[in-house]
């Protein structure tokens, strides 16, 4: 008599790991929250949280660090999804921080850099001791260095040389008052895994993730949409191209890619064939220097 073979698919294994991480956080921490931008990774995290705690409601709030430079399709999705799930949405507003003098807007008008102090102030205000983030190791090399449970000191800062070992999925959430943990349940997922999961779970996304016609300018080799936050500079020509977004961020820094992928199946085929990471292809803020993401993470960025 042979024993029945039990097999788990790749997506099932990733899902189970992420759900395990989320349940660990809820069991260990007093005030967790989930960072929710309306981007595909945080949308998948929300889906995993639904599954982790069903049939109960998700037992923590979601927080959006709002730069004020958002794509309107993404904000509409954020508000609709939060209402569907009956969640408490905390908005940490960069614009309010600028208006109050807490932070100063850079001369170039971009706001990614000044998200960090706004995030840390909101974390302190609401006393969140664990924040779920949607970062994945395949996105960028600084993110590849981080653990699933990533310790932050009482200034919200990360030290890449002082990380805790994670052997056999043993996560160390110990911290003192004022210290906190960033938690990355999607660390072991790839962009392709995310899209295959979106297909499998039939998850709705903001429309900008699929190919559509948009007025853009070519700047530093990338396609930036022309909008109220990003104007064409002298000498730049505005052209209409068929594009989609691989990642969602500040509208003044996030570029689109040329694409005809207007369905989830076409996006999966496109992502499977590409050799450039989504951040390398679309994020102007990551081109500042080779270590720009690591520098921001040391300061307390996501």
Q: Please write the tens of the pLDDT for every residue from 3-56.
A: 777 788 999 999 999 999 999 999 999 999 999 999 999 999 999 999 999 999
Upper half-sphere CA count for residue 16 (Cβ side, 13 Å):
7
Q: Please write the tens of the pLDDT for every residue from 133-152.
A: 999 988 877 778 889 999 99
| Angle in degrees, 0-180, between the axes of helices 10-28 and 191-201, rounded to the nearest 10 | 90
pTM across the whole model: 0.90
Strand ranges, E, within the chain: 32-35, 62-66, 89-93, 130-132, 149-152, 180-183, 212-219, 222-225, 239-244, 257-258
Q: Please write the tens of the pLDDT for every residue from 57-85.
A: 999 999 999 999 999 999 999 999 999 99
What does the DSSP assignment read for 16-82?
Answer: HHHHHHHHHHHHH-SSEEEE--SSHHHHHHHHHHHHHHTTSPPSS-EEEEE-S---HHHHHHHHHHH
What H or E segment, with its residue span, contains residue 278? helix 278-282
């Amino acid at each position: 008599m042979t024993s029945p073979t039990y097999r788990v698919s790749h997506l099932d294994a990733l899902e189970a790991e992420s759900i395990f991480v989320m349940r660990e956080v809820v069991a260990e921490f007093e005030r967790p929250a989930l960072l929710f931008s309306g981007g595909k990774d945080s949308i998948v995290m929300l889906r995993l949280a639904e599954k982790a705690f069903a049939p109960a409601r998700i037992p923590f709030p979601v927080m959006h660090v709002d730069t004020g430079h958002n794509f309107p399709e993404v904000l509409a999705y954020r508000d609709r999804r939060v209402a569907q799930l009956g969640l408490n949405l905390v908005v940490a507003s960069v614009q309010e921080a600028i208006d109050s003098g807490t932070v100063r807007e850079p001369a170039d008008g971009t706001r990614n850099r000044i998200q960090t102090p706004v995030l840390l102030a909101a974390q302190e205000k609401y006393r969140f001791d664990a924040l779920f983030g949607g970062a994945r190791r395949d996105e960028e090399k600084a993110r590849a260095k981080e653990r699933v449970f990533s310790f932050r000191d009482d200034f919200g800062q990360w030290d890449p040389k002082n990380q805790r070992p994670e052997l056999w999925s043993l996560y160390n959430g110990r911290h003192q008052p004022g210290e906190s943990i960033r938690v990355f349940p999607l660390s072991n997922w790839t962009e392709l895994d995310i899209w295959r999961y979106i297909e499998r779970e039939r998850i709705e996304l903001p429309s900008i993730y699929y190919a559509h016609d948009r007025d853009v300018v070519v700047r530093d080799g990338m396609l930036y949409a022309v909008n109220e936050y990003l104007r064409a500079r002298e000498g730049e020509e505005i052209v209409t191209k068929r594009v989609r977004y691989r990642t969602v961020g500040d509208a003044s820094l996030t570029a689109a890619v040329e694409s005809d992928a207007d369905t989830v199946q076409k996006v999966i085929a496109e992502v499977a064939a590409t050799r450039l990471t989504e951040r390398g292809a679309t994020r102007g803020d990551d081109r500042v220097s080779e270590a720009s993401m690591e520098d921001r993470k040391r300061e307390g960025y996501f």
